Amino acid sequence: MSYLMYLRKSRADKEAEARGEGETLARHEQLLKELAAKMQLPIGAVYKELVSGETISARPKMQQTLLEVMQGMWEGVLVMEVERLARGDTKDQGTVAEAFKFSNTKIITPLKTYDPADEFDEEYFEFNLFMSRREYKTINRRIQRGRIAAFRDGWYIAGTAPYGYKKVKHKEEKGYTLEIIPEEAKIVSCIYELYTHAFFGCYQIRDRLNELNIPSPSGKSWSASTVSDILGNPVYCGYQRWQRRKVQKQIIDGRIVESRPKDKDCERVKGRFPAIIEEEKFDLVQTIKARKPLPKNPETALQNPLSGLIYCARCGTLLTRQANNARLPHAVLRCPNKKCSNISSPLYLIEEQVLAGLKEWFGGYELNWQEDMEEESNATRTVLEDSIHNINDKYEKTKKQLNAAYDLLEQGIYSPAIFNERRSTLEAQKEALKKELEHLKEERNRIAAAELAKKDVFPSSVPFIDVYREIKDIRIRNFMLKNVLDHIEYLKTERNKKGAGNTANFTLKFYPKLPKSH
């Protein structure tokens, strides 16, 4: 029977590679081959484990090795150290020990050969597995303590830098920090501006960035989830999080299942890196995200402008919208608490009374729409101009490459066949860049025209109620109300009499966000 060679890279091996000591698995393979040749052991297969995992379940090559060992396929297994086989918990160590013991498979290392039939070798093997686990836990605790200390000291400890930054090693100290990438930082700023000033949602921002042919962090098209992650990452205002998605283990149907739920209350500290956006703007975005519904498709789009605002004055439950049907000519707002005696009312009637109350309360309060439009236009225009500049540079570079190809043909360096192939490639690139440049310029002109049109339609300052009635988008109406109202309490004790369904015989108690002096 032949022998199996099992190779696994440890954390110490990775540190050694970083010091320039060569590729670990290649060195170990060479040493074990020399050992096998010296002992005249035929090698039937070589399994290399490149996955870093604490348990056997995370190491597919180890699982295959144990399966073949239990089936008695190998006379022995060659490894650099016993510790390479298992560093998991007691259950994993027992699995490894039993597999080699009951199949009578030897374990051969450069220092010792373990024969499971020998009781002293068996005890020594099990002791080595135990010490290996203890060493692993000690090393892991030391590493985690170091990471936590570095995190709380402001060093950036995550593996990769978020979009808009690059990870750099601090010259004078051991830690890493982040450095802003100006071109990407402009995109991040644009995303925050569009979200906070232009009432854009994640899907609309996604579409706008894709229309402008701006590459995403992955280099592909933007997705709404990527935009949402950028809007929710405190790194952009100078903070970093610790253990936001901590691993939680559960036993389900006899198996250990791992999950990584989000923890909103995870630790957050100030980082040693510059912020791209102000902390106040980041907090505003989180408030908007918490209060603003984000429909995924038209079927689930928001239909209640008072969503998240109206509460039952009796039991404190948030009122919900009930759609109209054969019995209800209009959609109504009702208390979902079945034990509550608060009576429902038509949604349109409650909305009208809310507007009437707001008009009475702050008739002079006005919204400056030109400022919001200029914020959106400025943010988009900045990104557009950068994109146009970059595409124009690529276009000019392609033209120079095309001219150089003609020169190389005239000098005899390019053959006609090579020249034609090169010219076709460059001409195609040139045409694609030209179309993209024209598209971006058309988008720039469209935004400028739309800005002028809006200024012609709206005066520089218009009353809140008038603007609200002009808006048809329920989502924006809801957002406008949430900007001036914290919540409203609703109470109705008597049902409308027949023929008086349009009578507003209910009371509304307002809890505004703005001081009354406004």
pLDDT digits (tens, 9 = 90+) for 194-212: 888 766 778 888 888 888 8
Rounded average pLDDT over 164-192:
87
The pLDDT value given to residue 294: 47
* pLDDT at position 490 over 90: yes
Q: What is the b/e burial string over 480-507, where b = at least 16 CB atoms within 10 angstroms of the residue's CB?
A: bbbebbeebbbebeeebeeeeeeeeebe
Mean per-residue pLDDT for 441-457? 63
Which strand (E) or helix (H) includes residue 310? strand 310-312
Strands across the sheet with 507-512, in order? 310-312, 485-491, 507-512
CA angle, 154 as apex, 153 and 157 as ends, to 5°?
105
237: left (phi over 0), alpha (psi -120 to 50) or beta: alpha
Nearest of 210, 239, 241 to residue 223 by alpha carbon: 210
Written as one letter, the residue type at 257 is V
Please enumerate in sequence order all residues whose Cβ is within 8 A of that of 85, keeping only pairs 6 or more positions apart, or say none. Answer: 6, 62, 77, 79, 96, 107, 129
Give the model confidence (pLDDT) of 152-168 as tens digits. Answer: 888 888 878 999 999 98
Q: What integer pLDDT is reported at residue 274 of this predicted model?
A: 93
If one compares 229 and 20, the residue with the highest pLDDT of the two is 229
Q: Is the pLDDT of residue 58 over 70?
A: yes
Give the DSSP letter string of 123-175.
HHHHHHHHHHHHHHHHHHHHHHHHHHHHHHTT---SSSPPTTEEEEE-SSSS-
Place of tokens 């049907």: 325
- 275: confidence class by pLDDT, cuts 50, 70, 90: very high
Mean pLDDT, rounded, of the chain: 80
Token pair belonging to 337 = 């608490």
* Cβ neighbours of residue 359 closer than 8 Å, sequence gap 6 or more: 465
The conformation of residue 253, written as its DSSP 8-state character, comes to: T
Instruction: Specify the pLDDT at position 146.
Output: 81
pLDDT of residue 21: 45
Output DSSP code: residue 75.
S
Backbone angles phi, psi at 504, to 5 degrees: -90, 75
